[in-house]
């Protein structure tokens, strides 16, 4: 898949990404957005989220440190984004862990149309009401696979769904892509998934008429390549890896993305 100048467009347009994010990793999400060429804003107060979303080019909603107040802000911001036709990315962190999170997700779906839902396989499976046992990327024996749950949720919510893992799955319910870029150290730092959701916001926040599914696929490849190169940059462990990841994202080019992305179309 050609990068179609995705990174250049981000750097040229400098999209403003409103991120109501996990407070544990807000700093890291802001830094990866800056590194890729976007501008982050992290407003969470219900008194201003609609106004901020009105100025933004994309909205990222992250349930990591969810509260009743932040849920209200997410709904207000999401409605504003929908009204203005702006992309909304949902990261349903830990959605299956508690009744509060499950109910909050349903409230979000009842009020906001999502453009992208990105989570791990367990989170995505929870949103379609199935228990999760990992069976590989594409199950051949009738068991539930990441592809199964992703396609099911995409059809149910009429949006793009991305399942993060050793191999990332991205689908709109019809077309399915597997992205195999990345490094195991990405699972050793807090918030790599939250960062990924932010990067999706940057890729969808540019105005260039490109296919949104392709943009989400490329976002995963870009972040995965950055993880690979950061791991190979002489780091000492997870701490220096985190810093190297931001550095690599800052220098990543469309040529790098086109040459090194490992993207496969899955035919069902």
Asked if residue 1 belongs to a domain, the reply is no
Residue 15 belongs to some domain of the structure: yes
Q: Which two tokens stand for residue 68?
A: 């009743």
Token pair for 32 = 């990866």
pLDDT at residue number 133: 60
Please check if 42 is assigned to a binding site: yes
Q: Which residues contact 64 (CB under 8 A, 6 or more apart)?
A: 21, 22, 23, 24, 25, 91, 93, 94, 194
DSSP state of 267: P
Q: What is the pLDDT of residue 207?
A: 76
Helix H or strand E encompassing 30: helix 26-36
Q: How many domains does the chain have?
A: 1
- Flag whether 50 is in a domain: yes
Q: Is 191 annotated as a binding residue?
A: yes
The kind and range of the H/E element at 113 are: none
User: Domain for residue 184, yes or no?
Assistant: yes
Q: Which residue has the tokens 């862990």?
A: 97
| Model confidence pLDDT, tens digit, residues 91-149 | 999 999 999 999 999 999 999 999 999 999 999 999 999 887 644 433 343 447 899 99
Asked if residue 231 is part of any domain, the answer here is: yes
Matching residue, tokens 């690599």: 248
Question: Whole-angstrom Cα distance, residue 243 to residue 230?
Answer: 8
CATH number for position 135: 3.40.1190.20
Residue 37 lies in a domain: yes
> In Å, how far are 12, 140, 169, 264 from 134, measured between CA atoms?
40, 13, 14, 20
User: Tokens in use for 20?
Assistant: 């109501």
CA atoms of 176 and 191, how far apart (whole Å): 25
**Beta carbons of 212 and 46 less than 8 angstroms apart:** no
159 within domain boundaries: yes
Please tell me the pTM assigned to this model: 0.94
Mean pLDDT by 10 residues, the chain (268 residues): 88 97 94 98 97 98 96 98 98 94 97 98 93 51 76 97 96 98 94 96 87 96 97 92 96 96 92
Structural domain boundaries, residue 245: 6-266
Residue 124 backbone dihedrals phi, psi, to 5 degrees? -65, -40
pLDDT number for residue 136: 43
Q: Are 183 and 231 in contact (CB under 8 A)?
A: yes
Of 259, 184, 258, residue with least CA distance to 5: 258
The predicted structure's pLDDT at residue 142 = 41
Report pLDDT for 210.
75
**Residue 101 annotated as part of some ligand binding site:** no
């Amino acid at each position: 898949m050609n990068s179609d100048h995705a990174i250049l467009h981000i750097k040229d347009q400098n999209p403003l990404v409103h991120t109501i994010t996990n407070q544990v990793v807000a700093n890291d999400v802001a830094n990866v957005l800056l590194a890729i060429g976007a501008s982050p804003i992290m407003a969470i107060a219900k008194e201003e989220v609609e106004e901020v979303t009105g100025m933004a080019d994309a909205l990222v909603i992250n349930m990591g440190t969810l509260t009743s107040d932040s849920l209200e802000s997410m709904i207000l911001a999401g409605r504003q984004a929908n009204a203005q036709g702006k992309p909304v990315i949902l990261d349903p962190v830990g959605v299956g862990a508690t009744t509060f999170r499950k109910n909050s997700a349903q409230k979000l779906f009842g009020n906001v149309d999502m453009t992208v839902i990105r989570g791990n396989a367990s989170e995505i499976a929870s949103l379609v009401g199935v228990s999760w046992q990992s069976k590989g990327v594409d199950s051949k024996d009738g068991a539930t696979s990441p592809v199964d749950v992703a396609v099911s949720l995409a059809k149910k919510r009429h949006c793009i769904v991305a399942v993060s893992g050793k191999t990332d799955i991205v689908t709109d319910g019809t077309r399915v892509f597997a992205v195999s870029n990345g490094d195991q150290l990405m699972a050793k730092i807090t918030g790599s998934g939250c960062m990924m959701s932010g990067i999706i916001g940057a890729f969808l926040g540019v105005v260039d008429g490109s296919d949104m599914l392709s943009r989400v696929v490329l976002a995963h490849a870009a972040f995965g390549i950055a993880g690979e190169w950061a791991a190979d940059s002489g780091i000492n462990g997870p701490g220096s890896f985190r810093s190297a990841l931001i550095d690599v994202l800052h220098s990543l080019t469309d040529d790098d993305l086109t040459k090194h992305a490992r993207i496969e179309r899955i035919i069902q």
